[in-house]
């Protein structure tokens, strides 16, 4: 039935009309025809709509490159897929930690040996040494045999080769540290941290490892961040890059926290930050634990900055303008609302 | 003509990358076009849709879709676009959209963002005889007059007219179930 009417429709004419190819007279005559035949009019209007859609399809096709987009998306997926299918020993499992503590305990050597005695006892001493910091002790730093400087945050530990005699410079980290690595392209510097491996030639960067989580922030140079068990599963981090290993998933992210390195720089900047968040930064920087006796004061907005300011002065400066007081007992600090 | 959402989703949930790619290729340009309506920035629109597909893959195992996969993709694009607008601080624009467009009402109906329409147009164009599709493209996409096409291809204007009619008829025939009223 449909076919019956369709062969009567003069598609060439409709097309000519919709393409603007008709002369004024032709157009007039055709529009008269449309007016007198609603069925025809509907077809013309539907075809007009079709042409609009076809035009749009063409534009969309030109505008968005599916091939390029797919390869972009796929490359992001394959990372995920790979990490996901990899069997990984959980980072900082109890077993690992125990082992590390054991090794560290065995290898702890009295600090303060003179350089001379260093050489004298060179052969008799174990090849590894370790340095660790207590909970409330940040900024402890050590210069390694190659001239690299490592600064430990609180509750952290570094096990390192005393002389870096081999082809690589290997250290093992627990916790958080800032590394400034002496350049030596012939001897890569490798940090084992949980199930991650960080390989560098000469650069400075921060490593923060906690519960199944390793973070690397690069300040200069290039860093290769990989799973220890699977060196091919890696990302290359450059100046300003922030790499995160969560469980077994490696990812490059952005780190916008100005205070991320405060624990090392002792420089803290707060821009309209809630007192609660300010406290978190101070906790990290000074290795303390701040609490509040009144939840209302936690949201006070703070805008100020501190540069290598002693903790007491920091607290004083925060409390005074808001009529707050603080109590300090060891590393425990309680900020209170002053009672009148 | 609802697509078999369950099957596609099941394939993807089992980690079938080929099915995922098919889905991506079928919807990517359309969702980008849709996102563009809101964010008015091509790169931003593409970013939104790429991110959406990455998330879809990452969360595929936990994904529960109550409507169709298509509805899900458009809704997610819609929400993510608004999210971008909000972050951008285009408050008035954002609020305007929220007020006037429930996600349901902003879903593309009878528009090229409808995947079927997009595919039919592509297929119809691909299935036209070579000369016919060439003439059609020159007229519609390159904006050439019939006479110019005839000159370029060394054919008569009559032939151009005939081919244009043929193409138009083919499109109407294939699109009649999706666009406008059925009159043929």
Distance from CA of B163 to the nearest CA of A (A): 8
Q: Which of residues 205-264 of A touch B (CB under 8 A)?
A: none
Rounded to whole angstroms, the Cα distance separating A223 from A241 reads 9
Predicted local confidence at residue A141, as pLDDT = 82
pLDDT band for position B112 (cuts 50, 70, 90): low
- Strand runs (DSSP E) across chain A, as ranges? 128-132, 140-143, 149-152, 157-161, 169-174, 176-180, 189-193, 196-200, 204-210, 213-220, 222-227, 230-238, 242-246, 249-253, 267-274, 289-292, 301-307, 324-329, 332-337
Rounded to whole angstroms, the Cα distance separating A280 from B22 reads 47
The residue-averaged pLDDT of B1-9 equals 63
Distance from CA of B101 to the nearest CA of A (A): 23
Rounded to whole angstroms, the Cα distance separating B154 from B152 reads 6
Which pair of tokens denotes residue A188?
A: 């890569």
B101: DSSP letter: -
Predicted local confidence at residue B157, as pLDDT = 93
Q: Look at residue B30 and tell me whether its pLDDT is greater than 50.
A: yes
Where in chain B is CATH 1.10.10.10? 115-175
The number of C-beta contacts closer than 8 angstroms across A and B is: 131
Q: Which of residues 119-178 of A touch B (CB under 8 A)?
A: none
Predicted local confidence at residue A217, as pLDDT = 86
Pick from B141, B86, B102: nearest CA to A54: B141
Higher pLDDT, B162 or A187: B162
pLDDT band for position A7 (cuts 50, 70, 90): very low
Where in chain B is CATH 1.10.1740.10? 5-100
Interface test with chain A among B48, B128, B137, B168, by most A beta carbons within 10 Å: B168
ipTM for the assembly = 0.77
- Residue A230's alpha-carbon distances to A155, A159, A246, B161, in angstroms, are 28, 22, 15, 65
Question: For chain B, where are the alpha helices, taking DSSP H only?
Answer: 5-13, 17-39, 42-58, 69-88, 91-100, 115-127, 130-140, 146-153, 157-175
Quick one: fold of B115-175?
Answer: Arc Repressor Mutant, subunit A (1.10.10)
Q: Look at residue A111 and tell me whether its pLDDT is greater than 50.
A: no
pLDDT digits (tens, 9 = 90+) for A27-63: 999 999 888 888 888 889 889 888 988 888 888 888 8
Rounded to whole angstroms, the Cα distance separating B24 from B37 reads 20
At residue B40's C-alpha, the angle toward residues B36 and B41, to 5°, is 90
Q: How does the average pLDDT of chain A come out, rounded?
A: 78
Q: Which of residues 40-79 of B touch A (CB under 8 A)?
A: 42, 46, 49-50, 53-54, 57-58
Region label for A266, one of left (φ > 0), alpha (ψ between -120 and 50) or beta (otherwise)? left
Q: How many CB atoms lie within 10 A of CB A192?
A: 15
pLDDT band for position A137 (cuts 50, 70, 90): confident
Q: Which of residues 142-181 of B touch A (CB under 8 A)?
A: 145-146, 161-162, 164-169, 171-172, 175-176, 179-181
pLDDT digits (tens, 9 = 90+) for A311-325: 888 998 888 888 888
Pick from A224, A135, A131, A148: nearest CA to A184: A148
Q: Are strands A176-180 and A204-210 parallel, antiparallel or unpaired?
A: antiparallel
Q: Say whether A19 and B21 touch across the interface (CB within 8 A).
A: no
pLDDT digits (tens, 9 = 90+) for B54-67: 988 888 888 777 77
State the angle between helix axes of A11-18 and B157-175 in degrees (0 to 180), rounded to the nearest 10: 100
Predicted local confidence at residue A121, as pLDDT = 42
pLDDT digits (tens, 9 = 90+) for A146-197: 888 888 888 888 888 878 877 888 898 888 888 888 887 778 888 888 888 8
Q: Say whether A45 and B175 touch across the interface (CB within 8 A).
A: no
Distance from CA of A138 to the nearest CA of B (A): 37
Which pair of tokens denotes residue B142?
A: 């390159």
CB of A56 less than 8 A from some CB of B: yes
Do the beta carbons of residue B164 and residue A12 sit within 8 Å?
A: yes
Point out which residues pair with A324 in neighbouring strands.
A337
Phi, psi dihedrals of residue B56, rounded to the nearest 5°: -60, -45
Rounded to whole angstroms, the Cα distance separating B139 from B165 reads 12
Rounded to whole angstroms, the Cα distance separating B93 from B99 reads 10
State the angle between helix axes of B115-127 and B130-140 in degrees (0 to 180), rounded to the nearest 10: 120
Distance from CA of A81 to the nearest CA of B (A): 9
Chain B partners within 8 Å of A39 (Cβ): 183
pLDDT band for position A85 (cuts 50, 70, 90): very low
Distance from CA of B61 to the nearest CA of A (A): 13
Pick from A297, A332, A294, A289: nearest CA to A318: A297
The DSSP-derived string for B140-166 is HTS---HHHHHHHHT--HHHHHHHHHH
At residue A191's C-alpha, the angle toward residues A188 and A197, to 5°, is 95
Q: Say whether A11 and B117 touch across the interface (CB within 8 A).
A: no
Q: Are strands A289-292 and A332-337 parallel, antiparallel or unpaired?
A: parallel
Predicted local confidence at residue A298, as pLDDT = 87
Predicted local confidence at residue B2, as pLDDT = 45
pLDDT band for position A246 (cuts 50, 70, 90): confident
CATH of domain B5-100: 1.10.1740.10
Q: Look at residue B114 and tell me whether its pLDDT is greater than 60.
A: yes
End-to-end CA distance of chain B: 20
CB of A101 less than 8 A from some CB of B: no
pLDDT band for position A83 (cuts 50, 70, 90): very low
Name the residue among A2, A60, A72 with its Cβ closest to that of B33: A60
Q: How many CB atoms lie within 10 A of CB B63?
A: 15
CB of B139 less than 8 A from some CB of A: yes
Q: Look at residue B151 and tell me whether its pLDDT is greater than 90.
A: yes
**Torsion sign over Cα A330, A334, A335, A338:** negative
Higher pLDDT, A183 or A83: A183
Which pair of tokens denotes residue A170?
A: 């290997």
Pick from A153, A264, A145, A245: nearest CA to A198: A245
Q: Look at residue B123 and tell me whether its pLDDT is greater than 50.
A: yes
């Amino acid at each position: 039935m449909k076919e019956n009417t369709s062969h009567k429709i003069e598609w060439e004419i409709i097309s000519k009309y919709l393409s603007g190819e008709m002369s004024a007279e032709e157009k007039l005559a055709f529009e008269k025809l449309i007016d007198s035949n609603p069925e025809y009019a509907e077809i013309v209007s539907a075809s007009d709509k079709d042409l609009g859609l076809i035009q749009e399809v063409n534009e969309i096709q030109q505008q968005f490159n599916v091939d390029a987009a797919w390869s972009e998306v796929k490359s992001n997926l394959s990372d995920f897929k790979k990490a996901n299918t990899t069997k990984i020993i959980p980072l900082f499992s109890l077993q690992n930690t125990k082992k590390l503590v054991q090794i560290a305990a065995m290898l702890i050597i009295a600090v303060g040996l003179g350089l001379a005695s260093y050489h004298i006892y060179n052969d008799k001493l174990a090849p590894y040494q370790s340095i660790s910091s207590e909970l409330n002790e940040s900024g402890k730093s050590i210069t390694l045999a190659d001239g690299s400087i490592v600064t430990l945050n609180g509750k952290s530990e570094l096990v390192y080769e005393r002389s870096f005699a081999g082809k690589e410079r290997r250290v093992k980290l627990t916790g958080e540290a800032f590394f400034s690595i002496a350049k030596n392209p012939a001897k890569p510097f490798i940090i084992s941290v949980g199930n991650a491996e960080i390989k560098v030639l000469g650069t400075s960067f921060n490593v923060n490892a906690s519960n199944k989580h390793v973070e690397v922030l690069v300040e200069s140079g290039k860093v290769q961040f990989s799973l220890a068990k699977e060196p091919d599963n890696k990302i290359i981090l450059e100046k300003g890059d922030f790499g995160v290993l969560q469980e077994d998933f490696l990812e490059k992210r952005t780190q916008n926290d100005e205070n991320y390195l405060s624990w090392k720089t002792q420089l803290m900047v707060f821009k309209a930050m809630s007192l609660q968040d300010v406290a978190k930064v101070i906790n990290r920087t000074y290795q303390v634990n701040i609490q509040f006796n009144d939840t209302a004061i936690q949201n006070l907005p703070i805008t100020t900055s501190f540069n290598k300011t002693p903790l007491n002065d920091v607290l004083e400066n925060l409390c005074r303008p808001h009529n707050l007081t603080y109590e300090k007992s060891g590393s425990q600090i309680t900020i209170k609302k002053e009672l009148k | 003509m609802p697509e078999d959402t369950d099957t596609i989703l099941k394939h993807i949930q089992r980690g079938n990358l080929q099915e995922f790619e098919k889905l991506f290729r079928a919807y990517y340009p359309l969702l980008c076009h849709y996102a563009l309506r809101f964010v008015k920035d091509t790169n931003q629109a593409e970013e939104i849709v790429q991110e959406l597909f990455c998330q879809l893959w990452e969360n595929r195992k936990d994904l529960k879709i109550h409507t169709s996969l298509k509805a899900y993709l458009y809704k997610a694009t819609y929400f993510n676009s608004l999210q971008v607008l909000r972050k951008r601080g285009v408050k008035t624009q954002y609020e305007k959209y929220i007020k006037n467009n429930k996600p349901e009402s902003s879903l593309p109906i009878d528009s090229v963002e409808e995947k079927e329409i997009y595919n039919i147009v592509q297929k119809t164009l691909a299935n036209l005889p070579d000369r016919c599709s060439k003439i059609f493209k020159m007229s519609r996409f390159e904006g050439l007059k019939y006479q110019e096409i005839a000159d370029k291809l060394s054919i008569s204007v009559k032939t151009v007219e005939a081919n244009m009619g043929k193409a138009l008829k083919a499109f109407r025939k294939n699109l009649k179930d999706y666009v406008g009223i059925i009159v043929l």
